[in-house]
Copies of this chain bind each other. A is one copy, B any other.
Amino acid sequence: MSGSLPVIYLLDLFGVAVFAVSGSLSAGQKRMDLFGVVVVALATALGGGTLRDVILGAHPVFWVADTLYLFVAAGASLVTFVLARFCDFQGRLLKTADAFGLALFTVIGTQKALHLGIAPEVSAIMGVMTGVAGGIIRDMLSGEIPLILRAEIYATASLCGALTLVVLSLLHLPVWMSVIISMLVTLCLRLAALHWRLALPVFPARRERVEP
């Protein structure tokens, strides 16, 4: 997808697999059947990038151009479906992998938008969208208020990484260096938030008592 960095492509596929696993687990908790689980997994893994490409008018959409994304997401979902009987995915490992996926998707989304000549501030938004929209779609399909809008420094970590990449690109650093630094910014912020349970201030709810 990035063209210049084959390692990014492999990491991107890994991110797709991680997000597919998280979508499968979320769908499974709602007692969806096999195919419902795969649908939610695909939407989680490919939804953010699809939204980015559609809004940017960057056709063909990445998984239409390269169907390996589709097979990786579907495969990860099926493996999860089978393995969920035997092991517990919900622990620290999944959250760490998810943080890794968030960092990757954010940076890849931002980089793709910059590469298409999109304005820097819009590119940062596109990076955040690529990183978080999949998780929002997952939660909406599962009938829940999107967790990541409430969770510890999730979208915020994504935004910081995206802004870092935008700034480093304006400074004309080599692409591989800015990509790695920005990825680390998101990853470290998110892992730190998970580890120390950091959180942003919550909206001051003057009226919460009168809400049903």
| A interface, CB within 8 angstroms of B | 24, 27-37, 39-40, 42, 50, 54-57, 59-61, 63-64, 67, 70-71, 81, 84-85, 88, 90, 118-119, 121-122, 125, 128, 132, 136, 140-146, 148-151, 153, 155-156, 159, 199-208, 211
A200 cross-chain contacts in B, Cβ below 8 A: 33-35
A30 cross-chain contacts in B, Cβ below 8 A: 145, 149-150
A59 cross-chain contacts in B, Cβ below 8 A: 56-57
A33 cross-chain contacts in B, Cβ below 8 A: 149-151, 153, 156, 199-203
Q: This chain: how many copies in the complex? A: 3
Minimum CB–CB distance from A149 to chain B (whole Å) comes to 3
Query: In whole angstroms, how far apart are the Cα atoms of A202 and B33 in the complex?
Result: 4
Query: In whole angstroms, how far apart are the Cα atoms of A119 and B67 in the complex?
Result: 8
Q: Would A159 and B35 be within 8 Å (CB), given that A67-B119, A119-B67, A149-B141 are in contact?
A: yes
A64 touches B136 (CB 8 A): no
Q: Which of B31, B88, B140 lies in contact with A140, CB distance below 8 A?
A: B140
A60 touches B57 (CB 8 A): yes
Using A34-B202, A36-B148, A57-B61 as known contacts, list a sample of 8 further A-B pairs with CB atoms less than 8 Å apart, ordered by residue number in A: A33-B200, A50-B55, A55-B64, A63-B122, A81-B204, A88-B206, A141-B146, A141-B149
Q: Would A56 and B64 be within 8 Å (CB), given that A144-B143, A149-B27 are in contact?
A: yes
Residue of B nearest to A155 (CB): B35
